Structure 1
Amino acid sequence: MKRLITPSAQTSLHTITFLVAFCSFTYELAYSELLTVMYGGTVTQYGLTIGIFFSSLGIGSYIAKQFDETRPENVFRTELYLAFIAPVGLLFIIWINTAALPQLLPEILLGLLARLPVVGIGVLSGFELPLLLALVNNLDSPSLSPGVRRITNMTDRVINTIIGILFHTSHSRSEYDTYSTVLAMDYLGGLISALIYVFLLYPSVGLIISIFALALINVVAALFFICRFSSRPWGILAEGDRDIITNERTVLVVITIVLTATLGGAVISHQTVDNTLTEYYLEGNIEQEYPPGTVDAEITTQFTTQYQHVVQYNRTWKGSSSNPLFAGQTERCLRLDTAIQVCDSTARPYHNGLVDVPLSMYPNTTDTDVLLVGGGDWIALDHLRQGNVSVDHVDIDAEFMQYAKTNSFLTEYHNNAYTYEHAKTYQADIYDYLQRTDAQYDVILLDLPGAKTDDLLPVYSTQFYRLLKDSLTENGVVATWGYSQYTYSSHQKAYFNTVTQAGFTQYQSYYAYDDYTGNGEIRRGELFYLFAPDSSRPVITPTNGTQYVRKYQGQYQSKKWRSVPTYRGVRPNTLFNPNYEILIDTQRKQESASNRLSRLQNMTLSDLL
C-alpha cells in the first residue's frame, strides 16, 4: 500500500494554529453582530464583546498553565468543546431573547447571560495558543519542509534587513521557527478571518450559518489533529517516529464524528436552518411586543437585501378582550429589520397623514415639486400620483423596490404607482443625492424607519437635516412621522434639538385618524411633524386637500406654525458625535402584561411602529 504523504509535525501545528485562530477571531465578529441584532447599538455591542472576549482570552491563557503538556489531546478537546459551545451559545442567546420564561428575569441579568457564550468561547480560545506553543517547543527536531524552509529563510532575510534599520537584530532564527512562526500564523489567521467573514461568509450565508460553519472548521481541526498525531487506528496520517502522541478516548472521537456530520448537515442545509431559527426568533419577538397570549405571529416570507431584512408575516389576535389593534382576527404586516413598515390596518391612514395632509398646503399640480425619501413600497408614491404633483423618489434598496412591485400584499396599496409618469425614481443613498442635486422642493417627505438602531443615526443627524433645509424652496417644508413625547421623551428631546440646530425653527404636529379596529370608533394613529426654517410657510388647508383631509378637517384646520422646543443639557445628534438618546427602546421586556394591554389601547400607532 502506498504510504500517505503527511506534513511535518511543525507544519501540521502551524496549519492547526491558523485554522483555530481563524475561528476564534471570527467568532468575536459573529457574536458582536448577533448581540447587535438582539440589543442594538453597534458600538456598544462590539465594544463590550471585544472587551469580554479578550479578557476571557487572558483568563484562558492563565488557566492553560495548569494543563499537562505531555497530554496533547488537550488540543483535541479544546477544539471539540469550541465546536459544541459556539452553535449552542447561538441557540442560547436566541432562546433567552425569545422564550417567555427568561423574560421574568431582570433585564440586566438577561444581558449578562447573553454574554456567557462569549466568555466560554474566549476562555477556550485562550487555551489554544499556549497549548500549541508548548507542542511546537517540545518537538525534538522542530523543522520545516524544504519548500517552506526556503520561503521562511528568504522572508527572514528581508525582514532582518528592514527592521535592522531601527532595531538591533539577530541572525539566529531558532526562536522564529518555534514561537514566532506560531504567533505569526495566529495573527495571520485573524486577518484572513476578518476578510473572509466580512466579504464572503457573512454576505453569502448570513450570521447564523456563519457560526455553524466556524464550528465545523473547529471540529475539522480536531479531526485533523488526531489523524496526524494519534497512536490509535484513526491516526491515518501519523508518522513512524513521532514527537507528539495523543491517546484520546474512543467516545470523544465518536462524538467528534457525529458533531462533524451534524454541523456539516447544517451548513449544507443552511437555508432551511437559517429560516427556521430566524422565524423562531422573529415570531417570538413580535409576540413579545404584546401582552402574553394575545398575539400570534406567523412569518410568511423573509429575505435579506444588501441593506435590510425584509419580513412579511400575519399577526392574529388571540386575546380574550376585543382586538385593540385592527379589524378582524388576522392581518398582514411587513417589517424592515425590526420596524413595522406597513400593515393592512395602517397602510392607508399612515400615508394619508404622511402625504395627503402636507399636499393640502400646495397646489395639486405638476408645478409642485416633491422629494420622497424612502418609500420603497411605492405606497406613498401612489398618494402623490393622486395629487398630480412632480416627484423625485430616492430609495437605496433596489432589491426591495423590485420585490414590492409584484408583491401581492403591497400591490393592493400602491396600484402600480411605479409607472407614474411625473415621477423619477433614483436608487441612491440620500446623502449622496442631496449633495449632488441642485433641485429645490416644495415638500420633502421622509418615509424612513424609526430610529431603532445606530445604523439609522445618520438620517437623524443635524448634517442630514441641514441638507434637507438647503433643498427646500422659499415656501418648502419637511414632513415626517415621529414618536410621541409621552412614550419616548428622551428621543424627542434629542430629536428636536437636532432639528433646531440644523436650522428648522418652526413646526406643526398632527395625527392620522381612522377606524383602525372596524368598530366605528375613530382613533388617533401615527404622529407626524412638519418642519420649516421660518413661520412664513403655508399652513394645512383642508379645503385644498383630498377626501381624507376634508373628512377630518376639524382636526387640521386650526394648525399653526410654532417654535420648535429646545431642551437644555441635551446634545443634538451629529455624525461624528452621536447622541444615542435619539434611539428608542424597542424591547420593553420588563413591562407588565397589564401595562402593555393598557398601552396598546391608549397609545398612538406611531408608538407601536
Structure 2
Amino acid sequence: MVRRVVTDRRVTLGLTFVVAFCSIAYELVYSELLTVFYGGTVLRYSITIGLYLFSLGVGALLSTHLDDPVENFLRTEVYLAVAGPAGAGIIILLNSFPDVVFAGKPAITLVAAHVPILLVGVLSGFEIPLLNELLADREQTIFAALGRIYPRSVVRRVLGVCFDVSDANHESFSEVLGVDYLGSLAGTVVYALVLFPAYGLVVTVLVLGLLNALGALTFAGWVLWGRSWTASDSRTDFGASGNPGSWRPLLVVGLLLTGAYAGLVVNAGAVDRAVTGAYIGDQIESEYRPGQAEVAVESFTRTPYQRVTRYERTITGRQKSETCLRLDQAIQLCDSWVDSYHSGLVDVPMSTFEDPTSVDVLLVGGGDYIAVDHLEEYGVSIDQVDIDGTFMQMARNHQYLGQFNDGAETYDRLNTTVGDAFTYLRRTDDRYDLVILDVPGVRSDDSMRLYSTEFYRLVKRHLTEDGIAVTWAYSPYFHGQHHKSFVNTLRAAGFDRHLPYSVYEDFDGDSERERGERFYLLSDDTTPTPDLSRARSAYLDATAEQYDGWNWQFLTRYRGVDPNSVFNPNYDIIVEK
C-alpha cells in the first residue's frame, strides 16, 4: 500500500515562510560580504542572485531523486542551519590571510567565495518540492478558503482581459509557492531594515542559522508528537524508514546548533566586535609592508550606514603609537594629521574671504563636527547636511572625537539636517558662498552618487555668483583612472577651473614634512586667491612657507573617458584600494 504524508497545514506553510525567509537572507549576506571584500555592489549582487536562482533550479531538479519527504526535509533544514552560517565564515576566511600569497590566489579565492551561494541555493531548491509533498490534502488549501472571502468573479473578469481563465485551481503547489514568495519578500525587507542595520553581517547570519535549526526541530517535534498521519489508518508515519531512531543524529545536531546559535545571538555585540575587530585589524596591517605596523582595534560600532572602528596603530620607526578612526574600509582621521586635513579643507578656502562673518557655508558630511569647529573660528553661518545621524550623535558624546571638535555642535550659527545631501540640494533654494564636501571616498557603488555629474551640478547651482566649492581628492599619481573620471565628471557638471593644493605632514618620523592630503578649490569663472594671513589656523601659520604660489588651472579634458553619471555610471571612479 502506498502511503502519503498528511501534515498540519499551519505548520507546513509556516515552515515554508521561514525557510524562504532564511534562504534569500543568506544570499543577501553573501552579496554584502563579497562587496566588502571584492568591491562592485551591483556586480556582486547581480552575480549572487543569478547563481542563487540557477542553483534553486538545480536543487528542484535533483529533488526528484529524493525519497521520503519527511526525513529529507528535516535533513535539508539541518544542513542549511550548518551551511548558511558556515558559508559566511568561508568567505571571511578566504580573505583573512592577506600575507599568504601564491600564484592565481585572487582568481581562486574569488571563485571559492561563490561556492556557498551554490550550496545554499541547491539545498533551498529541495525545499519547495518536499514541502509540496507534505501538503497532500488538496481540497482545503488556503486559496480554497480565500475563495469564500475575495470577489472571485471580479478577479476572473480582470484576468480575463488578458488571459484565458477558469475557476480557481485548488492545488497545494500554488499555495506553497505563494507562501514561499511571501517569505522571500519578508526576508529581503527584514534583512535590509532590521537585521543588517541592527546586528551587521556576522550576527545576522547566526540569527538565520538559528531560525533554520528551530524550523528543523519544530518540524521533527510535530511529526514525533503524532501530528502526521498515514492516509489509510491514521497511525504515526515517520517516513520511509518508519523508524524515528534514524533521526537521532539529526535531532542532536539540531539541538546543538540551536543552543550554540542562541548563545551567540544573545551576546551579539561581543560576537560582532570580536569577529569583525579581528578581521579589520588584520586588514589594516596588510596595508603596510610585513612587520611594519601593529594594529589593535579598541572599539567597533555599527550605524545604519557605516561601520565605525577606532584602533591604535604602531608603525616601526615612529616614537609613539597613535589612534585612528575608520568608516567602513576608509580611514577617516588619525591623531597625527587630523588638524592638517581640516586646515586644508576649511581654513584654506576660508582665507579667500575678506569678511568671513558674512559668509554662508554649506557643509556636506562632516558628521564628526571637526570641520564645524574650524568654521566656528570665523563666525560663519553653517548649514550642515549629513545622512548618518547615529554617527553624529556618537561624535557629540564620544570622548575621542570630542577632543577634536570641542563641542562644536552647540555653535549658535549651525543648522544641521540629518538626510541625504543629494535630496537636500534638490529641494532647497538657498545659495552659498562656500560649499565644503567632507564626504567619504568613493569606495563602492553606494557612494558613486556623490561623485556624479548630477550631484556636482546641484552643488554649482547652489553657489552664489562668486561662490566656490572645495573637496579633498585622491592622488592622480596613485589613482589615475579615478582621477580621469573624476575630472571629466567635474567638467561635465560645469566646473572648468580648479586650484589644486596639498597639506604637509611628517608621516615617516624623519622630521621632514611630506605631501599629504590633496584638495581642489572649484569654480567656473571665479578665481579667488587664498591669503593664509587671514587663516585662523596654527597649522597653516607653521607651514605657510610650503605654499609659494596659488595657481588656478583649467581642468584637463581626458579623451575617451566618460564622466560618472547616476544614469550612466563609470565604475572607474571607484577606488577599491
Aligned CA distance change for structure 1 residues 162 and 255 (closer, same or farther; 3 Å): same
Q: CA separation in 2, counterparts of 1:257 and 1:274?
A: 23
- 1:169-225 CA-to-partner distances (Å, cap 9, x unmatched) read 44474xx33322222222222223223333333333333222222222222222233
Matched, 1:385 2:376: yes
SS at match of 1:574: coil
Cα displacement (A) at 1:467:
1.4
SS at match of 1:98: coil
Q: Which residue of 2 aligns with 1:219?
A: 213
Cα displacement (A) at 1:374:
1.4
Aligned CA distance change for structure 1 residues 132 and 420 (closer, same or farther; 3 Å): closer
Q: Which residue identity does 1:582 align to in structure 2? A: I
Question: Contact (CA 8 Å) 1:540, 1:556: kept in 2 or not?
Answer: no
1:258 pairs with one of 239, 256, 259: 256
Cα displacement (A) at 1:503:
0.7
SS at match of 1:572: coil
Greater Cα offset, 560-569 or 370-379: 370-379
Q: CA separation in 1, counterparts of 2:88 and 2:23?
A: 15
- 1:295-340 CA-to-partner distances (Å, cap 9, x unmatched) read 22222222222322222121122x4xx24xxxx3321111122211
Question: Contact (CA 8 Å) 2:285, 2:293: kept in 1 or not?
Answer: yes
Cα displacement (A) at 1:131:
2.5
Q: Which residue of 2 aligns with 1:295?
A: 293
Aligned CA distance change for structure 1 residues 364 and 380 (closer, same or farther; 3 Å): farther
Instruction: Map 1:134-283 to 2 at 5 A.
Output: 134-136=133-135, 139=136, 142-144=138-140, 150-151=145-146, 154=149, 157=152, 159-160=155-156, 162-164=158-160, 166-171=162-167, 173=169, 176-229=170-223, 234-235=224-225, 237-239=227-229, 240-242=234-236, 245=239, 247=243, 248-283=246-281
- Alignment gaps of 5+ in structure 2: 1-5
Q: CA separation in 1, counterparts of 2:252 and 2:556?
A: 68
Q: Which residue of 2 aligns with 1:96?
A: 94
Q: Which residue identity does 2:369 align to in structure 1? A: W
- 1:489-512 CA-to-partner distances (Å, cap 9, x unmatched) read 000000000000111101111110
Aligned CA distance change for structure 1 residues 131 and 426 (closer, same or farther; 3 Å): closer
Q: CA separation in 2, counterparts of 1:177 and 1:388?
A: 73
Aligned CA distance change for structure 1 residues 101 and 384 (closer, same or farther; 3 Å): closer
Question: Contact (CA 8 Å) 1:375, 1:381: kept in 2 or not?
Answer: yes
Q: Which residue identity does 1:289 align to in structure 2? A: E
Q: Which residue of 2 aligns with 1:58?
A: 57
Q: CA separation in 1, counterparts of 2:8 and 2:498?
A: 73
Greater Cα offset, 387-396 or 298-307: 387-396
Instruction: Map 1:266-345 to 2 at 5 A.
Output: 266-317=264-315, 319=316, 322-323=317-318, 328-345=319-336
Instruction: Map 1:597-608 to 2 at 5 A.
Output: none
Q: Which residue of 1 aligns with 2:438?
A: 447
Cα displacement (A) at 1:238:
4.4
Q: CA separation in 1, counterparts of 2:185 and 2:393?
A: 36
Q: CA separation in 1, counterparts of 2:417 and 2:220?
A: 57
Identity percentage over the alignment? 40
Cα displacement (A) at 1:525:
0.9
SS at match of 1:168: coil
- 1:350-384 CA-to-partner distances (Å, cap 9, x unmatched) read 11211222222222530233322211112112222
Question: Contact (CA 8 Å) 1:476, 1:537: kept in 2 or not?
Answer: no
Q: Which residue identity does 1:462 align to in structure 2? A: T
Cα displacement (A) at 1:25:
2.0
Matched, 1:491 2:482: yes
Question: Contact (CA 8 Å) 1:495, 1:582: kept in 2 or not?
Answer: yes
- 1:565-601 CA-to-partner distances (Å, cap 9, x unmatched) read 0111111111111111111022xxxxxxxxxxxxxxx
Cα displacement (A) at 1:520:
1.8
Question: Contact (CA 8 Å) 2:228, 2:237: kept in 1 or not?
Answer: no
Q: Which residue of 2 aligns with 1:525?
A: 516
SS at match of 1:558: coil
- 1:515-538 CA-to-partner distances (Å, cap 9, x unmatched) read 34444211111111111102x421
Q: Which residue identity does 1:542 align to in structure 2? A: L
- 1:80-128 CA-to-partner distances (Å, cap 9, x unmatched) read 1110011111111112222346554521222111111111101111122
Aligned CA distance change for structure 1 residues 19 and 550 (closer, same or farther; 3 Å): closer
Aligned CA distance change for structure 1 residues 262 and 414 (closer, same or farther; 3 Å): same
Question: Contact (CA 8 Å) 2:309, 2:326: kept in 1 or not?
Answer: yes
Cα displacement (A) at 1:286:
1.5
Q: Which residue identity does 1:196 align to in structure 2? A: V
Matched, 1:48 2:38: no
Question: Contact (CA 8 Å) 2:197, 2:305: kept in 1 or not?
Answer: no
Matched, 1:464 2:455: yes
Aligned CA distance change for structure 1 residues 72 and 237 (closer, same or farther; 3 Å): closer
Question: Contact (CA 8 Å) 1:23, 1:217: kept in 2 or not?
Answer: yes
Question: Contact (CA 8 Å) 2:71, 2:247: kept in 1 or not?
Answer: no
Q: CA separation in 2, counterparts of 1:47 and 1:106?
A: 23
Question: Contact (CA 8 Å) 1:227, 1:238: kept in 2 or not?
Answer: no
SS at match of 2:437: strand
SS at match of 1:189: helix
Q: CA separation in 2, counterparts of 1:122 and 1:26?
A: 11
Matched, 1:124 2:123: yes
Question: Contact (CA 8 Å) 1:96, 1:102: kept in 2 or not?
Answer: no
Instruction: Map 1:1-80 to 2 at 5 A.
Output: 8-67=7-66, 69-70=67-68, 72-80=70-78
Question: Contact (CA 8 Å) 2:453, 2:565: kept in 1 or not?
Answer: yes
Instruction: Map 1:417-566 to 2 at 5 A.
Output: 417-534=408-525, 536-546=526-536, 547-566=538-557
Aligned CA distance change for structure 1 residues 103 and 96 (closer, same or farther; 3 Å): farther
Aligned CA distance change for structure 1 residues 166 and 310 (closer, same or farther; 3 Å): same
Q: Which residue of 1 aligns with 2:108?
A: 109
Q: CA separation in 1, counterparts of 2:545 and 2:277?
A: 44
Two-structure CA RMSD over aligned residues (Å): 2.6
Count residues with an aligned counterpart. 562
Q: CA separation in 1, counterparts of 2:435 and 2:82?
A: 52
Matched, 1:395 2:386: yes
Aligned CA distance change for structure 1 residues 184 and 84 (closer, same or farther; 3 Å): same
Aligned CA distance change for structure 1 residues 162 and 505 (closer, same or farther; 3 Å): closer
Q: Which residue identity does 1:25 align to in structure 2? A: I
- Alignment gaps of 5+ in structure 1: 1-6, 587-609
Question: Contact (CA 8 Å) 1:352, 1:548: kept in 2 or not?
Answer: yes
SS at match of 1:513: strand
Q: CA separation in 1, counterparts of 2:532 and 2:400?
A: 30
- 1:453-486 CA-to-partner distances (Å, cap 9, x unmatched) read 1111111111111111122223222111111111
Q: CA separation in 2, counterparts of 1:477 and 1:378?
A: 21
Question: Contact (CA 8 Å) 1:542, 1:557: kept in 2 or not?
Answer: no
Aligned CA distance change for structure 1 residues 163 and 409 (closer, same or farther; 3 Å): same
Q: Which residue of 1 aligns with 2:3?
A: none
2:358 pairs with one of 367, 371, 386: 367
Q: CA separation in 2, counterparts of 1:369 and 1:157?
A: 62
| TM-score, normalised via structure 2 length | 0.90
Aligned CA distance change for structure 1 residues 360 and 252 (closer, same or farther; 3 Å): same
Q: CA separation in 2, counterparts of 1:391 and 1:166?
A: 58
SS at match of 2:13: helix
Question: Contact (CA 8 Å) 2:503, 2:518: kept in 1 or not?
Answer: yes
Question: Contact (CA 8 Å) 2:20, 2:180: kept in 1 or not?
Answer: yes
- 1:387-411 CA-to-partner distances (Å, cap 9, x unmatched) read 3433333323232222212322222
Cα displacement (A) at 1:444:
1.7
